Amino acid sequence: MKSKKNYDFSGIDLDKSRADYKIMATLNYILKSEHYQGYNLYKIVSNDINMRIMAHALFKENPLVSIEPHKQEQVEQKNSKEEISILSLPDFFVEFKIDYNPEIFGVLNQNAGIVIEHGEDRKRNLFIRSGNDLKLIKNDYSLFGLQAINGGDEPNYGQLLAFYQLSDPDINCIFLQGKAGTGKTLMALAAALSQKKLFEQTIIVNPMVPLSNNGKLGFLPGDVLEKSAPWLIPFEQNIRFLEKHVPEQMSRLVVKAAKAEKTDKKAYQKTEFEEIKLWAKYGFICQPLDYIRGQTITNSFIIVEEPQNLTQHEIKTIVTRLGKGSKIAFCGDLSQIDVPYLTENSSGFTYAIEKMVGTTARAKMAGSVLLTKSLRSELASYASEVL
């Protein structure tokens, strides 16, 4: 005996096999007089604009039906759009640490940067707000042998600020935001490697969302590590860059295969035709987002790639996994969101920056840097601006 279907396609000329159309047929079934239960309003709630248009066309004459988008919290982009300010103070005298006065330097978030231009030669220096002080970040400040370069004599102040935030043990959560080629992932990897002795493990987290959320490759074979391989390619490219430019530092950090095999045997299996996975070679652990719930991650440096594709709930889930002694760096680009229905104002990445970065004392744990200078190529920089 076939079970009764609770939908009615009478008067609805739609494909009966489509799930979206079955939803509308179900509402049509409910609205029939014999099934109507006396409710004042029935709602179709969807962020699919095509479905809402179709529903409006079918039920616009019915006062009992309301068609609405799903309401996600929209946050105003303020902190996520905050660039490093430049202040001209001709008589300013440079010291390593000075008192922060908002009447002079303006209102700055905790761990925000400010460039002060001073003297007759209009020399510039970068300072970071740390509590009630402004601390000098020297122009030659480096991270794991990397210099903050801008293609000219002046340093890249965004990278310089990121170097400091990633290295400061008192800043536990860093949001690196910027267009393609601004060095977000490279800096996070360099920071993790430079502080390897301070953390028990370095974890890579990626939402694993394909371009435009279209899984054209289908289901990938293998276990968790093998399925994660395509999303680790950007990390391997950055590791190769570090091997080329800071070979001495990298050679000292190679994990001994025999020792690491105890914890990550699959990544270290090797034949004469295969190389040890680059990310495993230096002790990085891949952590799929699907399996992060319920964990307490202590004494770890965590790198989250593509956080612009996370919902507000997902990013909260990740940050609340952190235990004592852990540090987390988010590397994202709000102009490249691949999840339907997420926007710059509803993305979990924006939400976390706006909620966690601020002027209060507790906000000292978080820092945000907006990187604007693409160093990938002139073509990539041009495309990021105009496309």
pLDDT digit of tens for each residue in the chain (387 aa)?
444 577 788 777 778 888 888 888 888 888 876 666 777 788 888 877 788 888 888 888 888 888 887 767 789 899 999 999 999 999 999 999 999 999 999 999 999 999 999 998 999 999 999 999 999 999 999 999 999 987 677 899 999 999 999 999 999 999 999 988 899 999 999 999 999 999 999 999 887 655 455 544 445 555 556 666 666 788 888 999 999 999 999 999 988 644 544 455 555 554 433 445 777 889 888 887 877 878 899 999 999 999 999 999 999 999 999 999 999 999 999 999 988 778 899 999 999 999 999 999 999 999 999 998 877 777 777 777 777
Tokens of 135: 């601390």
d(CA 179, CA 185): 12
* One domain, residues 55 and 190: no
Q: How many domains does the chain have?
A: 2
b (16+ CB within 10 A) / e for 214-235: eeeeeeeeeeebeebeebbebb
Q: Is residue 228 part of a domain?
A: yes
User: H-type helices in 282-322, by residue range?
Assistant: 312-319
Same domain, yes or no, for 57 and 181? no
Of 107, 128, 106, 125, nearest in space to 115 by CA: 125
Residues 56 and 171 in one domain: no
Closest CA to 161 of 345, 182, 303, 302: 182
Of 11, 37, 68, the domain-final residue: 68
Q: CB–CB of 20/44 below 8 Å?
A: no
pLDDT digits (tens, 9 = 90+) for 196-238: 999 999 999 887 655 455 544 445 555 556 666 666 788 888 9
Whether residues 215 and 358 fall in one domain: yes
Beta bridge partners of 210: none
Instruction: Give the CATH number for residue 197.
Output: 3.40.50.300
123 lies in a domain?
Answer: no
What's the Cα-to-Cα distance from 32 to each of 13, 29, 67, 215, rounded to whole Å? Answer: 17, 6, 18, 40
pLDDT of residue 232: 77
- 198 and 328 belong to one structural domain: yes
Where does a domain end: 68, 83, 103? 68
Residue 293 lies in a domain: yes
Does 62 map to a domain? yes
Residues 172 and 61 in one domain: no
Q: Are 226 and 366 in a shared domain? A: yes
pLDDT (0 to 100) of residue 276: 59
Angstrom distances, CA of residue 38 to CA of 9, 29, 33, 42:
22, 14, 10, 10
| Domain match, 366 and 219 both | yes
Q: Are residues 204 and 61 in the same domain?
A: no
Is the domain of 51 the same as that of 171? Answer: no
For residue 37, being part of any structural domain is answered with yes
* Structural domain harbouring 51: 19-68
Nearest CA-CA partner of 357 in 173, 132, 170, 203:
173
- Domain assignment of residue 145, yes or no: no
179 & 62 share domain: no
Q: Are residues 343 and 208 in the same domain?
A: yes
